[in-house]
Amino acid sequence: MKNLLAEILWLWKAYPRAPEKPGLLMRLYYFWDEAITPAGHVLCALMLFGFLFLFVPGFAVLKVVEGASLVWMIFALVFRRKPDNRILHVEVPMATEGELVQILAKFEKPLTKSSFVESFRMDPSVERLGNGLLKPRHRGVFTLSKMAFVELHPLGLSQSLRPYDGMAELLVAPKIKSLSRFPFLTEGASGAKFERLLRPENSRGMEFVGVREYREGDSLRDLHYKAFARYGKPFTKEFATESGGGVTLLLDVSAKHFREKMCVETAIRLFGSIAFYLLERNLLGRVWIGNEEVRFEDSKSPQKKILAALARVPYADLHTTYTLEKWNVLPDADVPVLCVSVHPVTWPAVDKQVVVVNRQMNRAENDSLRYVLRGTETVE
């Protein structure tokens, strides 16, 4: 019953909420959303309620208030004027699903207390909180094509818009959980390649990049004695990993049916957790998402580059499927390969694979294959 309710809930969320071609009702909704303020929405709702008593004897005061409210609303809508300020440039920082993000804009003139930037006609999964503040409910790439400079009418019931000529992209990254341990990486005979990389003399390059706290397994010859003496706890030197010398990490979210599509988001977040785990230990070599390689050799923040790439993976809904035919990765006996997917992968170059599933169903595991139940987001 619990699994059935989860599937029904996923189908409800995956069903598209906004039509691609708005009709008359959607255009009326756009006018309601863009021209009338929240205070105007409340007044209109009260007027609709008061309309029920117009033809009832009595209620004279209510009828007077109803008529006055209607006049105020019409006056607020008719006498709107185009704002004399405009947006010159817009920048939207990369956001994280479930967290707030602020639209940053540059204006031609200084802002007043009753003016701000706002975005309209967005994906229903992006909640607008006012004054350019957005809250995306799930990761993905969202186009902000209807941004405008907004100025409130003096009555506070309506607002005037001056559209922004350009567009912006809202990139929403998945929320990544931190992995403290990953024992599956070195389990069994298939973990021998990964265990070799954990030796400091084999996992590092020659370029010194910084100092970090000592971890179990680090070489004692790399201790940073000055930091040790200053802070009273062991620190070790950190070296850059040689290009291509670490783990090749693959993500396969090609879903064949809707139960696999339900596991895509868990697989993406788990993939990010494993990538960060390997990055922290200088074990990450090449990263592939589908048929495309994520290159971050020249990037100052590999974590941000990986998050941006994960954000661009198409969201698995009823009509969108992320297909994968064949990886463009050449097998290398010296480079271990770890794959995260929503179904078992038969590609022979994979040394380890973590498969996210919706139901366990007594699947057989081994030291190179691990099934993770959707919702747990852990491999331990």
- What pLDDT shows up at residue 6? 66
361 vs 132: which has the higher pLDDT: 132
Q: Lowest mean pLDDT of 58-67, 74-83, 125-134, name the range.
A: 58-67
- What pLDDT shows up at residue 297? 67
244 pLDDT tier (thresholds 50, 70, 90): very low
- What pLDDT shows up at residue 226? 77
Q: Answer for the pair 249, 338: CB distance below 8 angstroms, yes or no.
A: yes
- What pLDDT shows up at residue 242? 46
Q: How far apart are the first and last CA of the chain?
A: 26
Examine the pLDDT at 243 and tell me if it is beyond 50.
no
- What pLDDT shows up at residue 61? 80
Q: Hey, what are 15's tokens? A: 């069903």
- What pLDDT shows up at residue 128? 92
Q: Which amino acid is at 263?
A: C
Examine the pLDDT at 241 and tell me if it is beyond 80.
no
Q: Lowest mean pLDDT of 144-148, 254-258, 285-289, name the range.
A: 254-258
224 pLDDT tier (thresholds 50, 70, 90): confident
340 vs 20: which has the higher pLDDT: 340
If you count them, how many residues does the chain have? Answer: 380
Residue 176 has what DSSP assignment? P
360 vs 231: which has the higher pLDDT: 231
- What pLDDT shows up at residue 272? 94
* Top mean-pLDDT range of 82-86, 200-204, 226-230, 255-259: 82-86
Q: Lowest mean pLDDT of 35-44, 58-67, 176-185, name the range.
A: 58-67
- What pLDDT shows up at residue 332? 60
Three-state secondary structure call for residue 4: helix
Q: Hey, what are 312's tokens? A: 């661009």
The model's pLDDT over 345-368, given as tens digits with 9 standing for 90+, comes to 877 678 899 999 887 767 888 889
- What pLDDT shows up at residue 146? 92
Three-state secondary structure call for residue 266: helix
231 pLDDT tier (thresholds 50, 70, 90): confident
How far apart CA 370 and CA 227 sit, in angstroms, is 40
Examine the pLDDT at 106 and tell me if it is beyond 90.
yes
How far apart CA 131 and CA 117 sit, in angstroms, is 6
The whole-number average pLDDT for the span 132-140 is 92
Is the CA virtual torsion 256, 257, 263, 268 positive or negative?
positive
The model's pLDDT over 283-312, given as tens digits with 9 standing for 90+, comes to 888 888 887 888 876 667 889 999 999 999
377 pLDDT tier (thresholds 50, 70, 90): low
Picking from 186, 373, 376, 377, the residue whose alpha carbon sits closest to that of residue 273 is 377
Q: Where are the beta strands (DSSP E) in the chain?
A: 87-91, 95-96, 101-102, 104-107, 115-120, 126-130, 133-136, 140-144, 146-152, 159-163, 168-173, 208-213, 235-239, 247-252, 284-289, 292-294, 337-341, 352-357, 369-373
Examine the pLDDT at 137 and tell me if it is beyond 70.
yes
The whole-number average pLDDT for the span 124-137 is 91
Percent share of the chain, pLDDT over 70:
80
Examine the pLDDT at 31 and tell me if it is beyond 60.
yes
Q: Lowest mean pLDDT of 66-70, 86-90, 360-364, name the range.
A: 360-364
> Could you tell me the CA-to-CA distances from 150 to 30, 41, 158 in Å, in that order?
15, 17, 10
Mean pLDDT of the chain: 82
The whole-number average pLDDT for the span 46-69 is 81
How far apart CA 177 and CA 336 sit, in angstroms, is 24
- What pLDDT shows up at residue 1? 59
Q: Answer for the pair 341, 251: CB distance below 8 angstroms, yes or no.
A: yes
Examine the pLDDT at 204 and tell me if it is beyond 60.
no
- What pLDDT shows up at residue 135? 95
273 pLDDT tier (thresholds 50, 70, 90): very high
48 vs 57: which has the higher pLDDT: 48
